[in-house]
Amino acid sequence: MESKNAAYIARAKEILAQMTLEEKVAQMVQVPYAMVGREEALRWAKLGAGSFLHVLGDDAREVQQAACSTRLGIPVIFGIDAVRGHALNDHATVFPTQLACACTWDREIAREMGRVTAREVATDGLHWTFSPLLCLSRDTRWGRVNETFGEDPYLTGELAAAIIEGYQGDSLDDEESILACAKHYYAYGEAVGARDACDSEITYRKAREVFLPPFKKAVDAGCASFMTAYGSIDGTPLTIDRHSLKDILRDEMGFEGFVVTDWDNMSSLVKQQFVAEDTDEAARLAAEAGNDMIMTSVAFYDSAVKLVREGRLDEAVIDEAVLHILTIKAKMGLFEHPEKKGRPGCFGCAEHMDAALRTAQRSITLLRNDGVLPIAPSCKKIAVIGANADDVRAQYGDWTYFTHPLPDPDHVPVRPYTTIREGVEELAKAKGASCVYARGCGPIASDEDDLPSAVEAAKGADVIVYVVGDVVSQVGEGKDRADLSLSGRQTELFRQLRALNIPLVTVLCASKPLAMGDAAEQADAVVVAFNGGATGGKAVAQALFGEINPSGRLPISFPRHSGQVPVYYNQLPGWHKLVDKQKYCDLPETPLYVFGEGLSYTDFAYENMTFDPQTMKASVQVSNTGARAGLETVQVYFRDLVSSVMTPVKNLIAYKQVELAPGETKTVEIKLERMDFALVNRREERVVEPGEFMLMVGHSSKDADLLTVKFAL
Ligand code: BGC
């Protein structure tokens, strides 16, 4: 492997030696095709631009031909936000969001999602996805929670590594492999007040403890590229943070790929972050900090050429960046085959739709059930209520061809897909029950809202399925929410439906945890689906009717109220709990639903937990005490009982999934490593401090769900 890598580097060096300064700087430019238009894009290709983003099909082919017919013929790499399947293409398979995928806690599911996505992206002739997103969603007011794997560094790192392996396959040179991009490096989700692209008030120690570990796993998984975050840490924009981009990412973590900025990061140093006087200074700072490729700020080209000519920027900085880019191009075999072929005919094929359905099914998370679910065979009439039950845009969420400004906001949804209403109608019919649907209201109050008709429609039903959530205009960049309660008239409608005294199931079809209030606390059952993609509605219906046994576990905590956030589980301990041992005098401090939580149609029991600090082996007996086969996620947490710095009340360090038949007991063994028990001390070193620890194993991060054992290291 080493020698192969050396061969790629040698090849890149050979090309670099032939390049003019202009050609080198052009390699560092990533051109936004849709923004500059065809003519300008072709001009850039002839100048030798290294990459283009957001260009599909024949347009991409034309750009590639232009690039290949230049003096050195260096092919471009095409990047696209294929963040949940290749969903910006209207015929591709639309997967659930990353957050929904995280509910599965299943590395294999994540790997498969990556593999299918890669195949479809490659079939479109493209090379690179800007995925996965490794920021943590600790303050859920943030608009991009749906794009994350949730709030926990360990789970995020595990799923990220798996999806990267899926994207990149065994070799970047493979016809069905694409480059992954770990973004946004780092702590982007931690901005003050969850205000997108603002400052994160953290220290480097905190970064090493919480925010960097998932990125380290991405490096170890061989991730070919990293994207620099928009934000800043303690006042230093990541774009100019050489310590993070060089010392930590390259020297400590051993990253060997290339770094691309996020959209216009270079220009925002001047226009929004006010750390550079002009474009020239911004170009110099961004290059010197270690950004190899500059996304969309094409002014970098003129500035960088001028800076080098005037002796204000060392050409060695440019050489190093270009070497990183060319090495990856060589590794991809791009010089031999500039255009990926993929697998013609694979868009939305049965195999890929099955993979999307599996992900959606496994993502369904049951949070409350008074016995109303699964819907009984005796049920003759089902009322499905709520706009999100029949709104494919809400079900998809953002970053798809018709829910994102790119490439065309007027796109209409392309079949096949199944909304929740359609899924329930189909299964109800198969079971001889009738189904009525009424929109009632949606997340955004509108003239279409008609609560009385919805209540009327629900009368006489044996069960009401009430679907609540958010819509795309409440999700994404710059769409942070101060208020996480159900918007519009959704709570009002819930109360009117509840007053009918009919068994009532609330289904959440949303981008993130909302503070559902009565709609969760007064419902007979609560099902979380997040954004399930094309097959999401089918998966929800199958769970409601018991065709599948829900096995999702929350990768993120649900607040009772917006004022509680951040409410993530792995907080540092605190004191002054004056009122009823709670932090707030008007609300419990606990979340409504906590990280790791999730029910099923069977029950699991834990017994006989042991841990041997010598061998680092934990073991526990898990039994299925119910009447249905089920999948349990055995979760392992620890706490350092006395340490030089405060450490979280618990931290996830491992988990294992186990299938259990009714009545079956299995002994689950989990091998841990000594370094799993590490902390980051005040000198920013990751160390295990000798002393007492507590190991906790069980069904969720709730104390009541965990068996514990104390031990010393
Ligand atoms: C987003 C990135 C995305 C990039 C390219 C930016 O606005 O922050 O996540 O990959 O655009 O579309």
Per the model's pLDDT, the better-predicted residue between 427 and 2 turns out to be: 427
Q: Are 123 and 339 in contact (CB under 8 A)?
A: no
C-alpha 79 – ligand 1 centre gap (Å): 11
Residue of 619, 386, 611, 413 lying closest to 519 (CA atoms): 386
| 338 assigned to some structural domain | no
pTM beyond cutoff 0.95: yes
| 395 assigned to some structural domain | yes
Apex 86 CA angle, 83 and 90, nearest 5: 125
Please identify which of the residues 81, 90, 262, 470 carries the catalytic annotation. 262
Question: What atom of ligand 1 comes closest to residue 79's alpha carbon?
Answer: 5
Same domain as 372, residue 307: no
How many domains in the chain?
3
pLDDT, residue 4, reads 76
147 pocket-lining for ligand 1 (C-beta < 6 Å): no
What 8-state DSSP symbol labels residue 712? E
Tell whether the model's pLDDT for residue 574 goes beyond 90. Answer: no
Same domain as 510, residue 617: no
| 596 assigned to some structural domain | no
Same domain as 158, residue 73: yes
Give residue 613's domain range.
604-712
The protein residue whose alpha carbon is closest to atom 7 in ligand 1 is 263
pLDDT digits (tens, 9 = 90+) for 245-293: 999 999 999 999 999 999 999 999 999 999 999 999 999 999 999 999 9
Least confidently predicted of 2-11, 17-26, 50-59, 256-265: 2-11
Contacts of 429 (CB under 8 A, 6+ apart): 435
**How far is the C-alpha of 626 from the C-alpha of 394, rounded, in Å?**
35
pLDDT digits (tens, 9 = 90+) for 335-344: 999 998 899 9
pLDDT, residue 585, reads 87
pLDDT, residue 57, reads 87
| Band of residue 20 on the pLDDT scale cut at 50, 70, 90 | very high
264 pocket-lining for ligand 1 (C-beta < 6 Å): no
* Average pLDDT value for residue range 589-618: 97
* Average pLDDT value for residue range 159-173: 98
pLDDT digits (tens, 9 = 90+) for 103-153: 999 999 999 999 999 999 999 999 999 999 999 999 999 999 999 999 999
Residue of 666, 646, 650, 647 lying closest to 658 (CA atoms): 666
Same domain as 406, residue 508: yes
The domain boundary, picked from 288, 313, 331, lies at: 331
pLDDT, residue 133, reads 98
| 579 assigned to some structural domain | no
Same domain as 630, residue 552: no
| Band of residue 1 on the pLDDT scale cut at 50, 70, 90 | low
pLDDT, residue 411, reads 79
Same domain as 146, residue 41: yes
Percent above pLDDT 90 for the chain: 94
What 8-state DSSP symbol labels residue 387? G
pLDDT digits (tens, 9 = 90+) for 237-251: 999 999 999 999 999
Residue of 650, 560, 527, 563 lying closest to 151 (CA atoms): 650
Pairing label, strands 651-660, 258-260: unpaired
Q: CATH no. for residue 706?
A: 2.60.40.10
Averaged confidence pLDDT in the chain: 96
477 pocket-lining for ligand 1 (C-beta < 6 Å): yes
Q: Are 98 and 136 in contact (CB under 8 A)?
A: no
Q: CATH no. for residue 447?
A: 3.40.50.1700
Same domain as 620, residue 514: no
| 580 assigned to some structural domain | no
pLDDT, residue 184, reads 97
Same domain as 624, residue 553: no
**How far is the C-alpha of 7 from the C-alpha of 9, rounded, in Å?**
5
Percent above pLDDT 70 for the chain: 98
Same domain as 290, residue 165: yes
C-alpha 519 – ligand 1 centre gap (Å): 34
81 pocket-lining for ligand 1 (C-beta < 6 Å): yes
Question: What atom of ligand 1 comes closest to residue 183's alpha carbon?
Answer: 9
130 pocket-lining for ligand 1 (C-beta < 6 Å): yes
Tokens of 537: 């509605």
Verify whether residue 262 is a known catalytic residue.
yes
Tell whether the model's pLDDT for residue 579 goes beyond 70. Answer: no
Same domain as 648, residue 537: no
C-alpha 131 – ligand 1 centre gap (Å): 10
Strand partners, 632: 658
pLDDT digits (tens, 9 = 90+) for 363-403: 999 999 999 999 999 999 999 999 999 999 999 999 998 87
Same domain as 421, residue 285: no
Q: CATH no. for residue 59?
A: 3.20.20.300
| Band of residue 412 on the pLDDT scale cut at 50, 70, 90 | confident
| 586 assigned to some structural domain | no
**How far is the C-alpha of 54 from the C-alpha of 132, rounded, in Å?**
17
C-alpha 227 – ligand 1 centre gap (Å): 9
* Average pLDDT value for residue range 287-311: 98
Same domain as 317, residue 371: no
Tell whether the model's pLDDT for residue 581 goes beyond 80. Answer: no
Apex 546 CA angle, 545 and 549, nearest 5: 145
183 pocket-lining for ligand 1 (C-beta < 6 Å): yes
| 18 assigned to some structural domain | no
